[in-house]
Structure 1
Amino acid sequence: MVELTHEMDEAELLLLDRSRAITVRGHDKRGRAVVRIVGKYFPARALGGRAEAALMGYVRRRVLPEIGEREFVVVYAHSLVDRGENFPGVAAIRAAYGSLPAEAKERLRAVYFVHPGLQARLFFATLGRFLFSSGLYEKLKYMSRLEYLWEHVSKGELEVPECARRHDEELERRPLMDYGIEAADRRCMFDAASMDTSASLHSLRCIS
């Protein structure tokens, strides 16, 4: 049984390596390392009930060693995330942050949340303070367009995923999407009522 668990862990590690959902590359304009997270690339469905453990393990075994002792920022692209396919759940994200050593939490200087959408903003504004520590919540910066991200990270330092480019172009063509008046897709991209929390979120049916 121990060997089987070890083999599964290695398979999960390889799956996340191949997905390129989490990569460390480049620096922001202050010289801090950049951890890029592409929500659409995260293989949540393939990991199944192991998504939380896999995310925590990947941060510990891949991300932290690559960052070393440097200060760092996180650029999270929420563009076109689908809860059923590639969102690991709020509990997994909270656990991954909670598993960081205290010194690593201190060296995390900012989390740039790209393309949050109105529902995501509402969710974090109402429940974020309860679900996440104040240290993380206060570092969260919303970037509704890629152009605002370039104020903090030079274009040449960050590989922008195609899903983020497409979504940014769509937002430029249909600006009302930013306010939840017009949706890019009728599907729920991020079902707040199914995010592994015990909170009642019936008023927030989707976070896109």
Structure 2
Amino acid sequence: MSSNLDSLPDSIDSAMGSNCMDQILEEAFKIGGRDKKGRCVLRIVGKFFPARELIADGGMELLRSFLERRVFPALGGAPFVVVYMHAHAQRAENYPGLSALRSVYEALPADVRDGIRAVYFVHPGLQARIFFATFGRFFFSAGLYGKLRYVNRLEFLWQHIRRREVEVPEFVQDHDDELEHRPLMDYGLVESDRHHRAFDAPAMDTAASMHSLRCIS
């Protein structure tokens, strides 16, 4: 009896951490809308991706659990596309590192990996392009790397995705508008007036310090 009571606090902490991480990940991962071929869209917002929490102990397992419970069943095993919105993502905050991303990708069920038809990388910036061109093919399968599509402006995304069916955060639209007026931002030659331009490509292993999940501590 006492052993069960002794383990109860750990169980409560684990449940609280899982519930809190679910809430955070729901902001980053949303399924909704269709592309021009009628395929489901998985939208990922880089700014909301909790990389610093995920590199903490158990964080990647929480991510896998969330995907298995909340994302994969909603996809229903059908082909789908990914729309990744990179605006305001910063390396130290929003990337767990390519090695961690690769481990998550390799852990995906085969039918989910096979179901990815395209990955639209919105607002990549010059650094992200160079980084993925240099290292991406070594860390991801040729099949996935070959599905990557860079999208400089939202207007080009709508050539592939049904515009009114995918939610675009206001800050992503604002960033798109700013790029229209200051195109040199695409090449890193001009900084944004609104935010310091730190939309770097993901590091091979993030330098962010390890720390506990914010909702467990």
Q: Deviations over 1:32-83 (max 9, x none)?
A: 1100000111223344514433322222221101101211000000111022
Distance 1:110 1:57 in 2: 23
Q: 2:154 aligns with which of 116, 130, 146?
A: 146
Q: Which residue of 2 aligns with 1:162?
A: 170
Alpha-carbon shift at residue 157 of structure 1 (Å)? 1.1
Cross-structure match for 2:75: 67
Q: 1:164 to 1:127 in 2, by over 3 A?
A: same
The count of corresponding residues between Structure 1 and Structure 2 is 196
Q: What's the secondary structure of 2:161's corresponding residue? A: coil
Give 5+ residue unaligned stretches, structure 2: 1-6, 207-217
RMSD after superposition: 2.3
> Aligned partners of 1:57 and 1:107: how far apart in 2?
19
Cα distance 1:135–1:191, how it changes in 2: closer, same or farther (>3 A)? Answer: closer
Contact 1:34 1:72 in 2 (8 A): yes
Aligned pairs (5 A) from 1:48-127 = 48-49=55-56, 50-127=58-135
8 Å CA contact 2:87–2:199 kept in 1: the answer is no
State the match for 1:16 in structure 2.
22
Partner of residue 189, structure 1: 199
**1:169 counterpart SS class:** helix
Alignment TM-score, normalising by the size of structure 1:
0.84
**Matched residue of 1:20: which SS?**
helix
- Which piece of structure 1 moves more, 116-125 or 39-48? 39-48
Match for residue 136 of structure 2 among 120, 128, 133: 128
Gaps in structure 1 of 5+ consecutive residues: 198-208
> Which of structure 1's runs of 4+ aligned residues deviate more than 6 A?
none
What one-letter code is carried by the residue in structure 1 that aligns with 2:121?
F
1:180 aligns with 2:178: no
TM-score (norm 2): 0.80
The answer as to whether partners of 1:94 and 1:131 remain within 8 angstroms in 2 is yes
Which structure carries more relative contact order (alpha carbon 8 Å, separation 6+)? 2
Check the 8 A contact 1:40/1:80 in 2, yes or no.
yes
Which residue of 2 is the match for residue 33 of structure 1?
40
